[in-house]
Amino acid sequence: MSKAARRVLPGFNLSLGYTLVYLSLLVLIPLAATFIKTSALTWEQFWQVTTTPRVLASYKLSFGTALFAAGINAVFGLLLAWSLVRYSFPGKKLVDSLVDLPFALPTAVAGIALTAIYSKNGWVGSIIEPLGYKIAFTPWGVLIALIFIGLPFVVRTVQPILQDLDTELEEAAASLGAHRWQTFRQVIFPALFPALLTGFALAFARAVGEYGSVIFIAGNIPLVSEITPLMIITKLEQYDYTGATAIAVVMLLLSFTLLLIINALQGWTSSRTGRDR
C-alpha cells in the first residue's frame, strides 16, 4: 500500500485488479479450457492425433507461410512506413488509410476477392497461368492471403517510431562522415528494429491462426495446401472436440514459443542499443 501510495497517480490496486480479471476472463480462461479439454487424452492418443501425416503437413504449411509472409511484410511494411513518414506526395492521406483496409475487410471477402484475382480467369491468374505458374489453390495462394492480412501490422508499429526519429540524427551521422548505408544500418535501423520485430510478431501471430481468407484460396488439397485451422474444423465436423483442441494446443504452444523467442530477441537488441523499452 505504502509503495502504491507514493506514486503520482493513484489507482494502482484498482487497475491491477481490473487487468487481472480482464485478462483472465478474456484470455486465460478460454485458453485454459483448451488445455483441460485436451487433458482427456492420454499422451499416446495426443501424440497420435497431433502427428498424423496430414496434420504434420499442415503445421509446415501454416507456420512456414506465416513466417514467410511476416518476413515479406517486415521488408515491404518498413518501406511503406518510410515513404509515408518521410515523403509527401499527392494522395498520401489516402494511401495511409488504405493500409488499414485489410483490418476492416471481413476475411472471407478478402479471400474471395483474392481468389477471384489469382485464379485462372482472374486479372492476374489469366496472365500468369498460361506461363505455367499457378497461385490460387496452391501454397503460394495461402502466402498471398497471409501477406494481405498481415500488412497493416508492420506499417503501424514502425510508423510512430519513424515519426519520432529526428532527421537531425541522420544529419549528425552524415556530418560525422557516415555513408548513407552506414547511417541507415547503424543509426536508423537499430532504433526501428524493436518496433519492426513487434510488427513481425503480430503479423505472424495473426497469419498462423487465419482461416477465413485462406480457406478460399488454398484449394485444401491434403498434404499440399491444408492449413492447420482447417484440420481443427474437420475434427469439429466429426464432433471430435478433444482431437480439435489437441491440435489447437500444439498450435498454441508452437506460436507461444516463437513469440517468446521474438520477445527475447527484442529484449536483447534493446539492451544492446541501450534503449530501455
Binding site for other proteins (CB under 8 A): 49, 52-54, 112, 115-116, 119-122, 136-137, 215-216, 219-224, 230, 233-240, 243
Give whichever of 112 and 265 is closer to other proteins, judged by the CB atom. Answer: 112
Rg (alpha carbons) of the chain, rounded to whole number: 22
Give the C-alpha distances (Å, rounded to integers) separating 206 from 151, 243, 276.
11, 23, 27
Give whichever of 199 and 219 is closer to other proteins, judged by the CB atom. Answer: 219
Residue 229 near residue 211 (C-beta atoms within 8 A): yes
In the complex, the smallest distance separating the C-beta of residue 126 from other proteins, rounded to whole angstroms, is 10
Give whichever of 141 and 152 is closer to other proteins, judged by the CB atom. Answer: 141
Give whichever of 50 and 73 is closer to other proteins, judged by the CB atom. Answer: 50
In the complex, the smallest distance separating the C-beta of residue 216 from other proteins, rounded to whole angstroms, is 7
In the complex, the smallest distance separating the C-beta of residue 31 from other proteins, rounded to whole angstroms, is 18
C-alpha cell at position 44: 499416446
In the complex, the smallest distance separating the C-beta of residue 130 from other proteins, rounded to whole angstroms, is 14
Give the angle subtended at the CA of 59 by the CAs of 54 and 62, to the nearest 5°: 115
Rounded Cα distance between 261 and 276, Å, is: 19
Rounded Cα distance between 200 and 262, Å, is: 9
